[in-house]
Amino acid sequence: MEVAPKHSARKASSYFKKYFTIFLGAIIAAVGLEIFLIPNNVIDGGVVGLSIMAETITGMSMGIFLVIFNIPFLYMGYKQIGKNFAIATLIAICFLSVWSEIFKPVPAVTSDPFLAAIFGGIIDGIGVGLIIRAGGSLDGTEIVAIIMDKKSVFSVGEVVMFINLFILSSAGLLYGWDKAMYSLVAYFVISKMIDVVIKGLDESYAVMIVTDEYAEVTTALNERLGRGVTILHGEGGYTGDKKEVLYCVVTRLEVDKLKEIVLDMDENAFVTINAVHDIVGGRFKKKSH
């Protein structure tokens, strides 16, 4: 009778940690943008960069454009990745929009664009990394990259880089080429800081699951996540009991959803998740339906 309350409490704690991390990440990202980058006409890549340029051209708030530009990407994210990702992304965008307005009146820390690019990039990258680590995103171009990755020979990282080079080149026409080069420096720093926080934007994870409900979990991962599962036949080292071990490879954005699926099927399941730095033997694709 006590299992259900414990499960509910664990789930509530997980949600609180997730959205508090997104809240904190949005504050940090807003500081990097509004106190370092934007006052020096140095921009980030992706939808945030487009929103900053739209604010410069129209005089309207960056937060408004951040929400508007991300609407179609949120829909694609909901369809391709899942409801939890779309909700977390929407909340992250709203938090960033609000905090950007709050920090807008705060004077810039430096008027040196190079220092702004370095330190603003570090701060912004930490904030964005926390949001991504919590299962959300601020950048709809990442969603586009994931979709294109399934239909082309280019990786997610390569597609994101191509899109951002186009956006940063556009910044050169608006702010001048020197500011575009500073923006490129900022983008590089932000990318590296995101790597530090989440260990890779375009990273896959190998997951091993030990569960007594292996048939149900396998079916759920196939149907709800669209990933193939390999069943390994194992044996308990101490008890000698026969055990079925599930092996599956997923993208970073799918890790939270996988854990949710597995724990819904069997809250006593043992799950290990390891970063995969290389995949050999064909392209890593979702199972077609």
Return the higher-pLDDT residue of 154 and 189.
Answer: 189
CATH 3.30.70.120 is held by the domain 204-276: yes
Return the higher-pLDDT residue of 210 and 9.
Answer: 210
Rounded mean pLDDT, 215-221: 89
This prediction has a pTM of: 0.68
Closest CA to 139 of 246, 33, 9: 33
Domain ranges, ordered by start, for the chain? 3-198, 204-276
* 176 Rama sector, left if φ>0, alpha if ψ -120 to 50, beta otherwise: left
What are the Cα distances from residue 276, in Å, to 159, 273, 282?
A: 20, 9, 15
What is the distance of C-alpha 122 from the center of its chain?
A: 17
Question: Tens of pLDDT along 30-62?
Answer: 999 999 999 999 988 888 889 999 999 998 988
